[in-house]
Amino acid sequence: MAYTIPKETYSGKVLGLEFGKGPKALKVGGENTLPFLSFEGNIPNKPVIAYEIQDILPEDWPDTVQKQYTAVSDNPVKWAQFCQNDLKAQAVALRLIGTHPDRGNRSSEDAAKTVKDVLSAIEIPLIILGSNHIEKDASVLVAAAEAASGYNCIIGKAQEGNYKTIVAAALAHNHKLIAMSELDINLAKQLNILITQMGFDKERLITDPMCSALGYGLEYTYSVMERIRLAALLQNDATMQPPIVGDVGMYVWKVKETLASGADIPQWGALEERGILWEAITATAMLTAGANLLIMRHPKAVETVNKVIEELV
C-alpha cells in the first residue's frame, strides 16, 4: 500500500508584501502553509535576508564581524555599496544607531541626509531602522521616511510608545512599516490593530515580535512566532497575517558565546566559527518558526542560511 503524506488544510494566508522599486524590488510572504511545507500549500516567495549596516562605526560589534567591513564601515554609503556589489545582498538594513542620545545623538536632519545618500548609491531595497530609542525614533523616522519618499522602503520600528507619528509618516510617504512588540502574541496583535485603525493597510505591515539568540530565550521567541503564524493560517486571524521579521544580528552578536575567545574558554572552540554558527542557527530557527525577512550581520552566516533556504525551498 502506497504511503500517503498526511496534509493539513489552512483557511488563512500570510499577506504578501513588496518593497523596493524597479527590477530589484523584493516580495516576501504570500504563503498559505507553514514554513517550507510546500506539499501542503503554495509558497510563492522565498525568505529574504538583509545585511545590516549602520550610520556610524559599529564599535560595539565584536571583531569577528567588524573585520568583515573594516574598509567600508566608516561610511554608510560605501558600506551599502559593498553589500550590494561584493556580497550580492538582496537588501540592506540601515540602522540609524548614531541618532541614539547615548551614541552620538545625531539629528533627524543628519539621519535624513544619510538615508538620501545611501538610497542614491544602491539599487537594492532599503530597510530603515531607528536606534530603538522610543522618543528619538519618533522624530528620526519621520525625517527618514520623507527623505526616502518614492523608494518604497520598510521603516521601523513602530512601538506602542511612538507608533502614531511613525505610522503617519509611513502613510504620507508610501512606505512599508515594521510594528515591534515585546515577545507577546497579544501585544503584537494589539499593536497591529492600533496601527490599522489609523488607516494603515495591513498588507503594508510587518510584524516584529522581537528576537532572541540561541541560548537566550530562543525557544520562547520561536513559540511566539509559531503562535502568530498558526493564528494567521489555522484561525484566519487577519491581524496576525502580515509577514514576520527576525532582527537576528543585533541580538546574536552581543551574547557571551559570540564574544568569548577560544583562549578564554577553549572547550567552546574557535570564536569566529562559533559566532558564525550562532547567528546561522538562530536565523534558521526564526525561518522555521515563520519569519519571512531576516536582518543579519556576518557574510558567512548569511551564506549558510541562504543555502538552507535553497535546500528547504
Where exactly are the structural domains of the chain? Answer: 17-31+38-312
CA 12 to CA 6: how far, in whole Å?
Answer: 19
Tell me which CATH code domain 17-31+38-312 carries. 3.20.20.20
Region 109-133 average pLDDT: 98
- Lookup: cell for 92: 540592506
Determine the angle formed by the axes of helices 185-197 and 163-173, rounding to 10 degrees: 50
Supply the pLDDT for residue 239.
96
Amino acid identity of residue 181, one-letter, is S
Condensed to tens digits (0 to 9), the pLDDT of residues 28-55 reads 999 999 999 999 999 999 999 999 999 9
Asked if residues 166 and 133 have their Cβ atoms less than 8 Å apart, the reply is no
Q: Are strands 293-296 and 176-180 parallel, antiparallel or unpaired?
A: unpaired
* Cβ neighbour number for residue 94 with a 10 Å cutoff: 27
Helix or strand holding residue 310 (H, E) = helix 299-312
| pLDDT per residue as tens digits for the range 253-296 | 999 999 999 888 999 999 999 999 999 999 999 999 999 999 99
Q: Provide the pLDDT for residue 276.
A: 97
Secondary structure class of 49 (helix, strand, coil): strand
Cβ burial of 240 (10 Å; 0-12, 13-18, 19+) is buried
3-state secondary structure at position 154: strand
Longest distance between any two alpha carbons in the chain, whole Å: 69
Which pLDDT value is given to residue 6? 86
What is the spatial distance between Cα 211 and Cα 103, in angstroms, rounded to a whole number?
22
Q: Is 98 exposed, middle or buried (0-12, 13-18, 19+ CB in 10 A)?
A: buried
Amino acid identity, residue 53?
Answer: I
- How much is the average pLDDT of 48-70? 97
Q: Inform me whether the pLDDT recorded for 75 exceeds 80.
A: yes
What integer pLDDT is reported at residue 2 of this predicted model?
86
CA distances from 6 to 3, 14, 40, 139 (A): 9, 22, 9, 51
Cell numbers linked to 40: 501542503
Residue 1 pLDDT > 80: no
* Neighbour-count burial for 115-130, b at 16+ CB within 10 Å, e otherwise: beebbeebebbbbbbb
* pLDDT grade for 3, boundaries at 50, 70 and 90: confident
Phi, psi of 105 (to 5 degrees): 55, 40
User: What is the average per-residue pLDDT within 233-256?
Assistant: 97
SS3 (DSSP) at 93:
strand
Torsion-angle region of 10 (φ positive above 0: left; ψ -120 to 50: alpha; else: beta)? beta
